[in-house]
Each structure stands twice: as C-alpha cells, then as structure tokens.
Structure 1
C-alpha cells in the first residue's frame, strides 16, 4: 500500500512525536542508555478535546499505566508516554505536572486525569536501577514533540532496547487508504525490545517489498542472555472510527507483529494502543448526546484500513532495526546493529 510523506506515525495529521535521550557513563562500568518518547494525538488541549482510543493486550508481562480507564471509557486524554520499566512512575509524574499546568480545572472544578504510560525493560544495556529518568524529562519530551519526520532507532525510550538480538528501539511507518475522493492515513510507532534473531523475517519482507537486492545480516555472536523483552505498539489514524473499531485495529496490529517472526515469548509484554483523531470528544458540553459520523464496519474501506494497520506495524518493527546503531552499554556489553548489505 502507499506510504505517507514521512512513512511515519506523524503522517496522520496533527500527530506529534518527541524524544528525550539519556546517554551517560557511570562509575564501575555503569551506563545510562535510556530515555522518554511522547506521542501526542493532536496539537490541541488533549484533556479538553479527547480522542477515541482502545488497547489490546497480546501478552500482559508489562507495567503500563492508564489502560483500564482507556478501555472502560474509550477515550484518551493525555499524551502516550514510553520509557523503561523502572521509570514509569517518574514519567507519570512529569506528564501529570505538564497536564495540570495546562488545565487549571483538573481535580478542581472538573474530574481527575488519566495518563497513559508504557514501558520496556532496557536493563541489559542500561543501568536501570539508577533510575536516571526524571519527571522533567517527560515534560521535555512533550514540549519537543513535533510533526514531520520521526527520529528512529536508538533514540528516546528506544535508546537501550534490543530487538531480535540486535539493536532495536523506535520504529515507525504509515499507509494511505483511499476510497473515491477520500484518503485516510494509518500510522504506527513501535518500541521494540523482543525476539530471537533466528525468528526474524526481515529478509522475507525485503524480498517481497522491492528490496530484493539487499540482505539483512545479524552479527555472529552468542545468544544474548536477557529477559524476554517487550514491544509497545501505537496505532494512529484520522479515519473516523470509535473505540470498538479501534480495538479491532489493535488486534490486527498483532498480525503485523507476528509477520516479523515473533512467537510472543512468555516474559514479553506485547501491548497495543490505538487512537483516532478523526474527531474529538469535548470534555464539557451542554448537549446530552454526541453523534460523530463513523465508518460503517461493512464498508470495503474497513478491510483496507485493517491491511494498512498490519503493513505499517510490520514495517515499523523493521524500521526500528534499520535505523538503530551499535550501542555499548553497562558492563561493556555491546549490541550490534542489523547490517543491510547489497547481495
């Protein structure tokens, strides 16, 4: 399917992405290789203008914040924040500080706030016990969020992540879905930290997507002895769909993940969050009802949107590999990048 201008989640109009990366040497062979990534569904006030959203837990070995309420009410009212496992609390605090400063009515004259934070375990390369991510890093990531091209690979929350035993991290891709005079965009961003190199199907993808003159090679080494890992997948669209339909999108994203080769290991947290900014839901309104015009499930465009989610998810995983750089972490550990060579 056709890709957007940037081939990234930011091809969905008004979606923004920001990163803060922490890269620091510590005494006694310690190293900080971590960060924060923020995904903003639109450029306005996220609390006052919520977006429909849903999540799908493929494997629940993870420590997310906020998904219970997302699935109960079907809306997202904060940035989606990504970081390492031990920094969820600090990122939550920073995001809360930011949102409270932007919205004086929260927990005063109106309701409280639901913040969404996801994580992966980067402790193989990162001295995660040091907990160097602080609340202000989350605020900075939100403030730095922008439209346009997305930095990928070992950046932001992806700085210390490992995917298919080579360097992973942030990856993104997009697809355009057209019907008559209407075009919608599906964008995906992944935080990849999972899998064994023997599983990876990237060369099959290269062959079937016009890159058959290239071959991806994984540096020869002993198997990386690390936790099973995780992946967080963010699916965004401007198609006018509701939370039930977005959960269907999230489930299709799991198919795209499976195409890359993973069998979803026991200790892997595989969590998908989907949202649409095709319309917003006001926090306060005088009307008793809302009636956005939604796509019909049985319209042929729905199948095209499903396909777009699958394709963009698969490619976003691979983009995290193709953009990452060889990284040295704590205790002198080195994770090589995936090498793309002409045959």
Structure 2
C-alpha cells in the first residue's frame, strides 16, 4: 500500500497552531519554525498511510498509521554519535533501544516513531537502511540497536493488518528535512488520539536569551493519551468545559484505552547524559500540564539528545574532549523543556482533523474557536479560572 507523500500530508493536517489561537505558553521566545528542527541539524521525515474501508474485517483495513523519523544531525549518525538519555514516567509502552542508550549515553541511529505492532518492522528496516550506508557495520565495527518508540493506534487503525512495510520506513528516513514540520495526523501520529480529540505529531521550540546561553530547545511528540475532562490548554480546564458538548459518541467504549506519549527533546546546549536525564524528567511535567496523570495502562516515555558534541565511533587516541554546561546554568533549559513539551502537545491537538477509522470509530478534531474563546475568557469566568 503506498504511503501519502509528505506534501499531501501537510495539506491534509494543516489547521492552525496554538500561537495562531492567541495561546502563548511560557515565557521564552519560540524558534523560527517553532519546531524541533530549530535545533541546528535536526531533521524530521514522515510516511503517512491513510486508506481503506472503515467497515473492513480486521486485517484488511482501514489503514490509519505511519512512521516518523528524526535525525539528530545532518551527518552520519552511526559514525558521529550524539550524547543522549531518557526517562520513563510510566512504562506501559516501549522505546526499543532505550536500555543501551541509558547504559552508554549515546545515540547512534535515527529515532523512529510508529504504532505498537510495527516496532519490529521499523527496527528491521532502519537496520537494513543503515547497513547499506555503513559497509563496516557488523563486520569491522559494532552492530546497532535502533531507537523505535510506539503508541497504540488501534482505535482508528487496523493494527492487526501490519500495514507498515520497509518501504514506508525508508520513505520517512529518506524524506527527513529541516524547516517546518507537518503535525497532527501524519507519520507515526496518523491514528493517535489525545484527550478524546484527534491529535498525533506535534512540535515546538524555544530560543533562550543570550544571557542564558542562547541555546535552542525543541520537542517533538507522538501524543496519544488522556481523557477529555482532564485536558488543559495553557492552564485552562477546557476539557471540563467541552465535555458536555461531546457527551454522545463512541468514546464510552474507550475506558481502558488511556493511551501513551513519546516525547523527543533536542537541544544544542552541551549536556552530559546525566544532565539530559534530568532534562527529560522535566518534559514529564509538560505532559502533566496538559492533563496526563500517567495512568496504569499508559506509557510516558521521553528521549533527549544534545547536538553540541559529536562523538566519533573511532576517535584518535585514548581520550576525547567534550564541552559540558555547568549544572548551575541548567535551570533555563528545564523551564524551556516544559514549555516546548506542553506546546507541542497542544499543537498536535490543533492540527488534528476529525477522523473516521476502524469499526466506524469517529474521533473529532478539537474545536479551535471554542478553545480560543475559553482561553481568552478564562480570567473573567470564575468557573474557568486557571489553577
């Protein structure tokens, strides 16, 4: 089954973003594209699969899924690795390769995001892709364990059909670019839901003032968690206000499907692996601000990396010098990380259009004008005051 092109996915997913609704989360200025790609060198690609009859038998469709690929820099990530780390808030999910990442503190493959049953396919495909480009991999040099994160899109997608193939992974890898990033129902986020509204991929960035280092922090999320009544937008409990308007529908069947989220944090600040672990923990605070309580069946998994130090696979000599930020100067990065994570999730919701999927399930897009009004009026309406 052919995947949608990235350009068509952009057109389909385009609605607006949080900033266009007058929602300004946090205090730091955003980057040029307000995306993870504002961190120099970071690239993102998608492969989007949307097709099929919503009434088809399991295994035959409909298809509402995809793959998203993130490259930490423009060069060869196998030969020039970056420092990375992660954090698991609740582990009812998977990010394959995280065990080695936490042990070594190095990222040496692209990062892939997809649905739960496609993790193996994506791992196999990225290994094939990297072996073809690195002839010494697995012979004269080390093997790899790809980083592949997942969320469950089975409410909308025929996940049993295993519709993602190597060609779709290659498309996401080969089309990865800098600049603006398509959001919502694209790539790995195609079938994802957040707080009972259509969501998926979202991204945001912040540029710190020169006095705080001038560093850039970006986030990309594959967002698929939560209940509508818990949704908050910039502190405003809009989910509580919107719930009566969505009292009917198919979501009463989703009581056990709280969902998950994968967060990827990137920065050009020179951080050590332990410092990145601490940054990743702050991203969890951003997820909580939107309304997550990290339910029993949910997977909140965060991965972070710094592009400041490229670690050669075969350095010359016994040592290799790297630059590191002083711990006493890291607070601004913590604050920016919370901001970009929160806004990336809201951007995913803003971009998500109403979608009909498996078994005729309908997931509405978040009503943007209602959200705009609720946020605007929050300070003068006691029942919606921020807390």
State whether TM-score is above 0.5: yes
In the other structure, the counterpart of 1:298 is 328
In the other structure, the counterpart of 2:314 is 284
In the other structure, the counterpart of 1:197 is 228
In the other structure, the counterpart of 2:283 is 253
State the SS of the aligned residue for 1:44. Answer: coil
Q: How far apart are the structure 2 equivalents of 1:224 and 1:169?
A: 21
Q: How far apart are the structure 2 equivalents of 1:197 and 1:23?
A: 25
Q: How far apart are the structure 1 equivalents of 2:38 and 2:280?
A: 18
Distance of aligned partners of 1:288 and 1:152 in 2 relative to their CA distance in 1, 3 Å threshold = same
Q: How far apart are the structure 2 equivalents of 1:216 and 1:43?
A: 44
1:271-327 Cα offsets, whole Å, 9 max, x none, are 00000111110000122111212100013xx11111000000011111110011110
State the SS of the aligned residue for 1:249. Answer: helix
Please point out which of 273, 283, 299 is paired with 2:303.
273
Q: How far apart are the structure 2 equivalents of 1:21 and 1:297?
A: 40
Please point out which of 99, 118, 125 is paired with 2:130.
99
Q: Report how far residue 63 of structure 1 moved.
A: 2.6
RMSD: 1.8
Distance of aligned partners of 1:144 and 1:260 in 2 relative to their CA distance in 1, 3 Å threshold = same
State the SS of the aligned residue for 1:202. Answer: coil
In the other structure, the counterpart of 1:188 is 219
CA contact (8 A) 1:35 1:83 kept: yes
In the other structure, the counterpart of 1:241 is 271
In the other structure, the counterpart of 2:356 is 328
Q: How far apart are the structure 1 equivalents of 2:212 and 2:277?
A: 26
In the other structure, the counterpart of 2:385 is none
Q: Report how far residue 114 of structure 1 moved.
A: 2.1
Q: TM-score, structure 2 length as denominator?
A: 0.83
In the other structure, the counterpart of 1:210 is none
In the other structure, the counterpart of 2:111 is 80
Give the unaligned 5+ runs of structure 2: 1-27, 374-387
In the other structure, the counterpart of 1:20 is 47
1:243-292 Cα offsets, whole Å, 9 max, x none, are 11000100000011111111111100110000011111000012211121
CA contact (8 A) 1:38 1:79 kept: yes
Structure 2 residue 347 is matched with structure 1 residue 319: yes
Structure 2 residue 32 is matched with structure 1 residue 8: no
CA contact (8 A) 2:212 2:332 kept: no
Give the unaligned 5+ runs of structure 1: 208-214
CA contact (8 A) 1:4 1:175 kept: yes
In the other structure, the counterpart of 1:62 is 93
Q: TM-score, structure 1 length as denominator?
A: 0.94
Between Structure 1 and Structure 2, the one with more strand by share is: 1
Structure 2 residue 68 is matched with structure 1 residue 46: no
CA contact (8 A) 2:83 2:306 kept: yes
